[in-house]
Structure 1
Amino acid sequence: RNAAQALDNVPGDREIKLRTRVARGVTLSKRRYRLALALFIEDNGPGVPEAIRDKIFFPLVSGREGGSGLGLTIAQTFIAQHNGAIECDSVPGRTIFTILLPLEFHRAGA
């Protein structure tokens, strides 16, 4: 939803891309995982305002008028509950959120 809202006032072609891959040898929450799911959410919106880039995961921080500032905080909490991580890389014209979630497979009877 954040990516779609970021594109509200973008002229021309608006893009939201979702990409996935398997990452190998990832450390999350101070634990090493052999495999992790990497999910990339990219848009070509205006970018996260520089003044709040370091704070976007804090409660009540929003760069959008009328925004509650809770969405990314809640997302980060859910991801952390699954031993994952979320980060943001943003410049004007491109923002990428990267979510990493550990993949663990258990054998039946193990």
Structure 2
Amino acid sequence: MAKCDQGYLCEVCGEEVDNIRVSDLYLRYVTGQIDAQKLLGSPERHLRCNPVVAQFIVDDAFESAVVEGPFNKSELDADYVAQQEELMTRGWQRLQELYDISESVPVSDYPLPEFRGQD
């Protein structure tokens, strides 16, 4: 495959991030952590390659991630954990939805409603 035919490469494992469903970069975008101007220049990772974030996705369709050490959510403030679980789960669910419709939705409409138009 020509280099220009590849998608984003994961900065952790070096493999291609196949689609938006498994993208840490787009999860950060839809949850308001980065703006659209930073999408092209920001590092990409598979969600599985960033377990510190992935551990907050709580959905039966997502295999739970476990973090060893001080960043394990069991070591964090319960209110913060609840807030992050709600946000990251909603963000991940939005990515699943976008996977099928992304060609018909402008990138500016990808974020969760409360984060749209913040660029």
Q: Would you call these one fold, judging by a TM-score over 0.5?
A: no
TM-score, normalising length from structure 2?
Answer: 0.24
Q: Radius of gyration: which is bigger?
A: 1
Q: Which has the higher strand share?
A: 1
**TM, length-normalised to structure 1:** 0.25
